Amino acid sequence: MDTKLTLRLNAGVIERAKIYARSHKISLSKMIESYLDSITKQKGEKKSITPLVESLSGVIDLPSDFDYKKEYGDYLEEKYK
């Protein structure tokens, strides 16, 4: 059930929010609803993990000093030579 809510906000904030919402093809109401939903969710909520993702968990064992950013950078460098 949707309920109407009246807010008082700075006019500049409202204008920037409208521009942001328009550029992301979302209504301002939906954007605010999503934000409020995300900050009020229970922190302890467990996200469901699909069986495929669960089966892949722990497949690779990397050293604690593994620098994934460097490795990815090296990969991209090699790829785009």
What pLDDT, on the 0 to 100 scale, is given for residue 71? Answer: 93
Q: What single string gives the DSSP state of each residue in the chain?
A: ----------HHHHHHHHHHHHHTT--HHHHHHHHHHHHHS-TTPPPP--HHHHHHTT-----TT--HHHHHHHHHHHHT-
pTM as predicted: 0.50
Low-confidence ranges of the chain (pLDDT < 70): 43-46
What pLDDT, on the 0 to 100 scale, is given for residue 45? Answer: 62
Reading the block at residue 76, the tokens are 């991209």
What pLDDT, on the 0 to 100 scale, is given for residue 39? Answer: 86
What pLDDT, on the 0 to 100 scale, is given for residue 62? Answer: 83
What does each C-alpha distance from 51 to 26, 44, 48, 77 come to in angstroms? 32, 21, 9, 34
What pLDDT, on the 0 to 100 scale, is given for residue 44? Answer: 63
